[in-house]
Amino acid sequence: MRKLFSLLKTLLRVLWRTLSFTRSLVANLLFLLVLAILIVSWSARETPTELPEQAALLLRPVGAISEAAPLTNPWEILLRDKLDEIRETPLQDLLDAIRLAADDPRIELLVLDPSQIDRVSLSQALTLGRALEAFRKEGKKVIAVGDSYDQNQYLMACHADEIILDPFGEIGLKGLGYYRLYGRQALEKLKIQFHLFRAGEYKSALEPFIRDDMSEADRRATRSLLEDLWQSARNFIFSGRRNKLTAATLSRYLDDYEGLLTDKRGDAAVTARSAGLVDRLMTRPQWRRYLAGLAGPEADDQRDFAKITMDEYLDHQTRSYRKSPTPEKIALIMARGEIVPGSQPDYRIGAEDLADLLARARRDDDIKAVVLRINSGGGSMTASETIRQEILELKAAGKPIVVSMGPMAASGAYWIAVDADEIWAEAATLTGSIGVFGAFPTFVGSLDKLGIHSDGVATGPRAGALNPARPLPAAEARILQLGVNHGYRRFLTIVATGRKKSITEVEKLAGGRVWSGRQAKALGLVDHLGPLADAVAAAAARVGLTPDHTVYWQNRDLRSGSLGSLLSRTRSRLFTLLFPVELRHLAALAGSAPGAGPTALLSGRDPRHLYALSPGGDFTRENPSFPVDNR
């Protein structure tokens, strides 16, 4: 039997190595092809567009609205533009363009086309809505255009003076929902035993592996959260559609859309206009001519309107957080993605990378304060603690640190944030989730069905105890639970100290429960509600500087927000296309994938198998991501 097991193991290893070699070969060939396209594109690049004397600013964001620092290197921008799969639009670019255009006499009209937006969180939409309101207060006009608007896109558009919809389009407002797939029975059929150790009634990140439905605790907490977020969304829509939309009409549109649509004989566009959700029904040629009457005609096409795109406009402007007027400055650090040990690409928070950035800011005498922008659902507890210790070192050196929470800053991300001098969040930020869990799958039953059995000797009872091919010993399970319990107590203590509360007070807010930013402010888990700009202003005020002194503080090498990171993401995307996630997970669960381990379903493994990770995602989407998408 040992020979059979050895033979099967060898075959699996050879198979995986063959697949890995094929994947690397094909991905590298495709990468070289992409590089060749970039070189040709670069050599044939056009001269930058001159700013017209009068034109509309066209905002047409693509992909996800990103919390990453905007790109500046021309090669990076060219690579991003040529590869649609990694396209994203930095939130700060949108805010800069709107702010600068508000003071630009050449720009009297802003045209928003959200049709290419894939993801925008509610908190980001709120921030953009405020920016559009400031633009309109300068006596300028905002018009949104689109063939159809899904819920994300409508949240982007609802603060325009006019919303134009194609006569064959619709407005896809449906409310907020959160549904997950639960697979306990599937794991039982596969004879996979998933051992979950948690502290916190609401710590539900891995419930899909141990249940077939949502727990009542998770149901209560999620319903409360969604109702609060939807109230923010409704208020946001109403504030943008003043005197055009009533609460009763919006409720009926959500609850009885079939009836409204029936009344209009199935015409979705007329239904939306009758409800007050849009202002005009126009085809593309019609609204292009309409906008030409407002902004003037295009020089080479009298039937189109004069315009300049956001990227073209920003090429001629000074963007935010690029240069300080004096050597003294405030470091702005962008941190997004799952928190994992070691060094990571810019779409994950690597403990080594972020700790190094904080340490460099502490040692640099010109850095007077730090603003840490976080968008993360958490991750490794050990990695989170590594980062937190550097925050404490920064404070001990007398340098203030202000945290600005993006769409999500929960669990391990809250662990990192809690010791900041100030914490800012948006009303719709997802935060809290104070809880800890451990996870460990074993595959004894699966292997038994295949006639494969594990056997051997060890020098002690714990040697080989965490072997997924063997049953998890009861003592080792108790050890893992003790570690989770200790981690939870540690989390409670950290929050109590950082937020100046008693352990008893924190316990009432903990249990792994996720709160909205508005709820967190009322509960004392955050200090203020406001966007990144407010957090930057607060940090500047603490050290007697202005927000203009703030600069992006990033790694010196080609990892963070740079060409190297984009190339890494490109290769990763090619790997995803060649080998679907199901195949990679199966290989990892079988133990044959490089680096596979008991927590292979998590992208970063904690050395103690302890995680502060929160479920979450974009609740405005039909299928919210799980775990949080972390863009």
The DSSP-derived string for 458-497 is -SSTTTTTT-TTSPPPHHHHHHHHHHHHHHHHHHHHHHHH
Catalogue the E-assigned strands of 395-538: 401-410, 422-425, 430-432, 436-442, 514-516, 528-529
Higher pLDDT, 314 or 76: 314
Confidence of residue 568 (pLDDT cuts 50, 70, 90): low
Q: Are 548 and 326 in contact (CB under 8 A)?
A: no
Confidence of residue 36 (pLDDT cuts 50, 70, 90): low
- What is the share, in percent, of the chain residues with pLDDT greater than 90? 49
In the three-class reduction of DSSP (H, G, I as helix; E, B as strand; rest coil), residue 209 is classed as helix
Q: Are 245 and 272 in contact (CB under 8 A)?
A: no
Backbone φ and ψ for 118, nearest 5 degrees, come out as -100, -45
Q: Are 97 and 316 in contact (CB under 8 A)?
A: no
Length of the chain: 631
Confidence of residue 200 (pLDDT cuts 50, 70, 90): low
329-558+598-613 and 55-173+242-314 share a CATH fold: yes
Active-site annotation holds for 203:
yes
pLDDT at 399: 98
66, 121, 123, 203: the active-site residue = 203
pTM of the model: 0.81
Whose tokens are 């007077």? That residue is 368
Cβ neighbour number for residue 503 with a 10 Å cutoff: 13
411, 446, 560, 614: the active-site residue = 411
Structure tokens at 332: 């702005």
User: Region 65-69: what's the mean pLDDT?
Assistant: 86
Confidence of residue 325 (pLDDT cuts 50, 70, 90): very high
Q: Are 57 and 109 in contact (CB under 8 A)?
A: yes
Give the fold, CATH level 3, of 55-173+242-314.
2-enoyl-CoA Hydratase; Chain A, domain 1 (3.90.226)
Task: Look over the chain and give the mean of its residue pLDDT values, rounded to a whole number.
Answer: 82
Q: Which amino acid is at 401?
A: I
User: Region 548-573: what's the mean pLDDT?
Assistant: 61
CA 538/CA 361 separation, integer angstroms: 18
Q: Please say if the pLDDT value at position 367 is more than 70.
A: yes
The β-bridge partners of 90 are: 66
In the three-class reduction of DSSP (H, G, I as helix; E, B as strand; rest coil), residue 172 is classed as strand
User: Domain coordinates of the chain in residue numbers?
Assistant: 55-173+242-314, 329-558+598-613
Homologous superfamily, domain 329-558+598-613: 2-enoyl-CoA Hydratase; Chain A, domain 1 (3.90.226.10)
Q: What is the CA 497 to chain-centroid distance, rounded? A: 28
